[in-house]
Amino acid sequence: MPDLTEALAPGGRIGILGSGQLGRMAALAAARLGYRCHAYGPEPDAPANQVSDAATVAAYDDLEALSRFAAAVDVVTFEFENIPLETVHHLAALVPLRPGAEVLAICRNRLREKDFCRGASVPTADYRAAEDPDSLRGAVEAIGRPCILKSAEMGYDGKGQVRITEQSDLEAAWTAMRGHAAEAVGIVEAVVDFRMEISVIVARGADGTMRTYVPVENRHRDHILDETIVPAALPETLADRAEAIARHLAQEMNLVGLLAVEMFVTHDDRVLVNEMAPRPHNSGHWSLDACVTSQFEQFIRAVAGLPLGATDRLSDAVMKNLLGEEAGDWAKILAEPGNKLHLYGKTSARPGRKMGHVTRLIRR
């Protein structure tokens, strides 16, 4: 196994599990620091492959391909959570993995994620496990209606989520949830009456140093992030509490890398953790244009063992996702002097597919 007790020197190779837009932007940040990235994923013309020094196109359970991938890099990280745990355990035995398999195990499963928060004394919405239709009934009775049934794994951008009201048929709700993942176990969560959805991104280095980005407000459309407003309009006490929660969770899971923590701010000033992602996050894209150190550079710094960068905000901003055909307005977007356009190199636009984003910088 390569030795990574010291910082990875320029010219080193960073393996990225996953080849989507997050891997693409991480690879571009790594290149500016003198590193070469090797993307791994099943899609041949994926966004990260287009900008990486090397790419392996193979399934996540192809152990021979994974072994060759590990032998070609100095350290491995990942750009999304829906990777089999067997994959990361296989890699972790061959090459340093940052964050570790234990972090992925927590964050890829909503039940383990909520249980981890509870064990770390971090507040969340009330929740119960639902392993079959019978336990779903008990969970809904305990939580009360309305509530949300979610698949514990493989859910993102609203997939595998069903709102349960007084009129809902629970058998139908269970079937609808499992339509996203046939073997899914469910989690039933209380509906939170929030005044704002926010996120905080925290980086933690191998030496335990931490840096947080300012809390931002996230606005969703059809369960997909539509806009991020920087900074969130929060009193200082609540902003400080949100950052403290993110730092505490990163410390408790011994993270080396980046952690995005999505939270609800309620009308009575509670801050409740909703979900976590141990990698760069859509709500941190604004940092590419409005921060001293972007989340992607920070991610690479942490994974490579470099000192973390400053997270000072250079301007306020609004980040807008470009979904489906919205990216076709690229010329109009570029005609606005304050806009910063980022397209991901995807060849086909589907409704709800993230094709790029635009950040509008706002003078402070």
Could you please state the CATH topology (level 3) that the domain comprising 126-190 is classified under: Dna Ligase; domain 1 (3.30.1490)
* Partners of 245 in the β-ladder: none
Query: pTM here?
Result: 0.96
**CATH top-level class of 13-97:** alpha beta
Q: What is the pLDDT of residue 5?
A: 79
User: Does residue 321 have a pLDDT over 70?
Assistant: yes
Residue 96 identity:
P
The span from the CA of 66 to the CA of 345, in Å, is: 25
Question: For 156, phi and psi rounded to 5 degrees?
Answer: -155, 155
172-195 residue pLDDT tens: 999 999 876 666 789 999 999 999
Q: What is the pLDDT of residue 2?
A: 74
Give the mean pLDDT of the chain: 95
The beta strands (E) that lie in 137-270 are given as 147-151, 161-164, 186-190, 194-204, 210-212, 216-221, 224-230, 257-266
Please determine, looking at this structure, whether the domain spanning 194-362 carries the CATH number 3.30.470.20. yes
Q: What is the pLDDT of residue 317?
A: 98
Per-domain residue ranges of the chain: 13-97, 126-190, 194-362
User: Does residue 157 have a pLDDT over 90?
Assistant: no
Query: Is 119 buried (19+), middle (13-18) or exposed (0-12) by CB count in 10 A?
Result: exposed
Average pLDDT of the residues in 113-121: 98
Q: What is the pLDDT of residue 363?
A: 82
Handedness of CA 178, 180, 186, 190 (dihedral sign): negative
Share of the chain above pLDDT 70, in %: 98
